[in-house]
Structure 1
Amino acid sequence: MKLRHTALALVGWYLMVPPGRLATAFYTPLSQWKVTGIFDSEVACKKTQAAHQGFLYERPPIPSTCIASDDLRLKGK
């Protein structure tokens, strides 16, 4: 039981953006996206994500997402 709680405590959150051109952003595997921030909670990640979108009002917003550090999509398979 203690091991399970320890594993949950090690999960962090990544704020990620796709590499390269926006036109292909959502076709790029998540394992190839770039980490732009690391957070202790999903709430902190989403607050930063929202703040970054607010600064980009002069151009199209950059797609970004908050992903748990243990998400299997980050493995690239």
Structure 2
Amino acid sequence: MNIRHAGALALVGWYLLVPPINHNTKSIDSKAPITAWTVLNKFGTDKECKKGMSDHDALIEEVSESGYAREGKLQTELLSKAQCIDENDHRFKGWEGAFIGRIR
């Protein structure tokens, strides 16, 4: 690997995303496009993101405190659908999503 490739890799980050919630029906739309999902946190690597995704207590606290999801059943379902996505993923083109949690 040359220096240019190392520099490009250093710019890559990973988002921990959760799907949108329809608060009227209290349901999660996990089939919504990624551009409609909400970022809970950002990590430097995929491994860090997956580790962060496994910390359910911290994630539940974040979605609850932010007001994004306060009901326990909704929080559990939401976190079961969470995904780690590379910030350079082509599906982010035109993204107008929201940030909650530590990176507000």
When normalised by structure 2's length, the TM-score is 0.60
In the TM superposition, what is the alpha-carbon distance from 1:3 to its structure 2 partner?
2.3
Contact between 2:53 and 2:59, CA under 8 Å: does it hold in 1? no
Over the residues paired in the alignment, what is the CA RMSD in angstroms? 2.4
Percent identity for Structure 1 against Structure 2: 35
CA distance in 1, matches of 2:47, 2:58: 17
Could you say which residue in structure 2 is the equivalent of 1:68?
86
The amino acid across from 1:33 in the alignment is W
The amino acid across from 2:39 in the alignment is V
Contact between 2:20 and 2:37, CA under 8 Å: does it hold in 1? yes
When normalised by structure 1's length, the TM-score is 0.77
Q: Any residues of structure 2 matched to 1:14-33 within 5 Å, and which?
A: 14-21=15-22, 22-26=27-31, 28-33=32-37
Which consecutive residues of structure 1, in runs of 5 or more, have no partner in the other structure?
Answer: none
